[in-house]
């Protein structure tokens, strides 16, 4: 188990992303995935009020509703660390105080719980004073509706400023950053952003850990994959560096007798500041490959090979 930042949140070293619940995974499939993940020792779930508002006929909150129904049917609320987000729902975007408070109540209702363990600011909101945002989060924590807060999709300057204001004003402070980070897209995090996280004792909970599915190994040159997410992975097939990474992953996965995805996530988990990579699954078989990553510790030679391929 890994600690998130300087908090008391102890989590399984892999976070189950649930953005596909209500999208490519219906409630039956989602329940199977959640059962398999928690049955294998997983306890960290990540969702958002905006999942899956991009689907015609959906209004957002579908993923939260499915998770809430699963927790109610299984009696598992106290067994999971539950994270959701505010600020990205169409028609309810931004981090104003009133929006945060209303969105939190809506998420609690959909999730069927009285508290959120980790509440993410989904996107930075330059139009709202940082102090207003932090005061709203601070109030929710004092009311017991939220335990901790995190920042998602923040740049280094705004994240550092937010942390400084929290310290100066005595307000709740972000304990973690959720950001785009994987073996084929390292430059988005490594550098100034990672330094702010490390210098302030935060943890990284990276999303797109499998590069929109490319790092599962199922997308290959000349292959056709029937998936709603295939278009997102296709551009990597045009990158020599991405293909070199896949070749290195293949080599290690074969030697370890595990899926390529497990190696890619194990590399992420080995990076400084990372507490738990986020990955999603829509079948029990996919969950098994994800869980394998939590049992893996890559050797120095394997890390060197992957770092060189992804440089």
Average pLDDT over residues 64-75: 98
- Mean pLDDT, the chain, rounded, equals 95
Task: Compute, in degrees rounded to 10, the torsion defined by CA atoms 182, 188, 192, 194.
Answer: -20
Q: Is residue 190 included in any domain, yes or no?
A: yes
Query: 183: which 2 tokens?
Result: 């073996």
Q: What is the per-residue pLDDT across 137-195, written as a single tens digit (0 to 9) for each?
A: 999 999 999 999 999 999 999 999 999 999 999 999 999 999 999 999 999 999 999 99
Ranges 33-42, 184-193, 218-227: which has the least confidence = 218-227
User: Which domain CATH number covers 28?
Assistant: 3.20.20.100
How far is the C-alpha of 46 from the C-alpha of 254, rounded, in Å?
30
The pLDDT of residue 264 is 98
The pLDDT of residue 229 is 60
Q: How many CB atoms lie within 10 A of CB 126?
A: 10
As a whole number of Å, the end-to-end CA separation of the chain is 30
Q: What is the per-residue pLDDT across 94-106, written as a single tens digit (0 to 9) for each?
A: 999 999 999 999 9
Q: Is residue 205 included in any domain, yes or no?
A: yes
Average pLDDT over residues 19-44: 97
The pLDDT of residue 232 is 72
Q: Is 61 exposed, middle or buried (0-12, 13-18, 19+ CB in 10 A)?
A: buried
Q: Is residue 135 included in any domain, yes or no?
A: yes
Q: Is residue 235 included in any domain, yes or no?
A: no
Q: Is 301 exposed, middle or buried (0-12, 13-18, 19+ CB in 10 A)?
A: exposed
The DSSP output letter for 180 is B
Choosing from 51, 148, 208, 219, the catalytic residue is 51
How far is the C-alpha of 281 from the C-alpha of 28, rounded, in Å?
13
Q: Is residue 228 included in any domain, yes or no?
A: no
Burial state string for 67-88 with b = 16 or more CB within 10 A and e = fewer than 16: bbbbbeeeebbeebbbbbbbbb
State what percent of residues in the chain have pLDDT above 70. Answer: 97
Q: What is the per-residue pLDDT across 199-218, written as a single tens digit (0 to 9) for each?
A: 999 999 999 999 999 999 98
DSSP 24-59: TB-HHHHHHHHHHHHHTT--EEE--TTTTTTSTT--
Q: Is residue 129 included in any domain, yes or no?
A: yes
Q: What is the per-residue pLDDT across 283-306, written as a single tens digit (0 to 9) for each?
A: 999 999 899 999 999 999 999 999
Interhelix angle 240-256/300-310, rounded to 10 degrees, is 160
Q: How many domains does the chain have?
A: 1
pTM score, whole prediction: 0.95
User: In the predicted model, is pLDDT for residue 223 greater than 70?
Assistant: no
How far is the C-alpha of 309 from the C-alpha of 311, rounded, in Å?
6
Q: Is 189 a catalytic residue?
A: no
Q: Is residue 223 included in any domain, yes or no?
A: no
Query: 84: which 2 tokens?
Result: 């959701």
The DSSP output letter for 185 is B
The DSSP output letter for 234 is G
Average pLDDT over residues 265-280: 97
Q: Is residue 226 included in any domain, yes or no?
A: no
Look up the domain containing 102 and give its range: 2-214+260-297
**What is residue 82's three-state secondary structure?**
strand
The pLDDT of residue 87 is 98
């Amino acid at each position: 188990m890994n600690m998130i930042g300087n908090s008391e949140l102890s989590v399984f070293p892999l976070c189950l992303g649930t953005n596909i619940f209500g999208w490519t995974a219906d409630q039956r499939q989602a329940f199977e995935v959640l059962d398999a993940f928690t049955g294998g020792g997983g306890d960290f779930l990540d969702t958002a009020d905006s999942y899956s508002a991009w689907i015609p006929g959906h209004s957002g909150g579908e993923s939260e509703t499915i998770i809430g129904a699963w927790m109610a049917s299984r009696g598992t609320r106290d067994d999971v660390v539950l994270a959701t987000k505010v600020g990205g729902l169409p028609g309810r975007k931004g981090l104003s105080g009133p929006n945060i408070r209303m969105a939190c109540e809506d998420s609690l209702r959909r999730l069927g719980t009285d508290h959120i363990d980790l509440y993410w600011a989904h996107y930075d909101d330059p139009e709202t004073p940082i102090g207003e945002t932090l005061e709203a989060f601070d109030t929710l924590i004092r009311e017991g509706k939220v335990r901790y807060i995190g920042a998602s999709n923040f740049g280094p300057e705004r994240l550092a400023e937010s942390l400084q204001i929290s310290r100066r004003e005595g307000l709740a402070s972000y304990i973690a950053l959720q950001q785009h980070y994987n073996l084929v897209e390292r430059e988005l995090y490594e550098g100034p952003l990672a330094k702010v996280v490390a210098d302030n004792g935060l943890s990284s909970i990276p999303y797109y850990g499998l590069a929109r599915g490319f790092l599962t190994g199922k997308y290959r040159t000349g292959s056709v994959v029937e998936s709603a997410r295939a278009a997102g992975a296709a551009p990597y097939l045009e990158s020599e560096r991405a293909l070199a990474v896949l070749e290195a992953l293949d080599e290690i996965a074969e030697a370890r007798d595990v899926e390529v995805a497990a190696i890619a996530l194990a590399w992420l988990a080995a990076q400084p500041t990372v507490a738990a990579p986020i990955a999603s699954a829509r079948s029990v078989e996919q969950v098994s490959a994800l869980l394998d990553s939590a049992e893996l510790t890559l050797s120095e030679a394997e890390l060197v090979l992957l770092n060189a391929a992804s440089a």
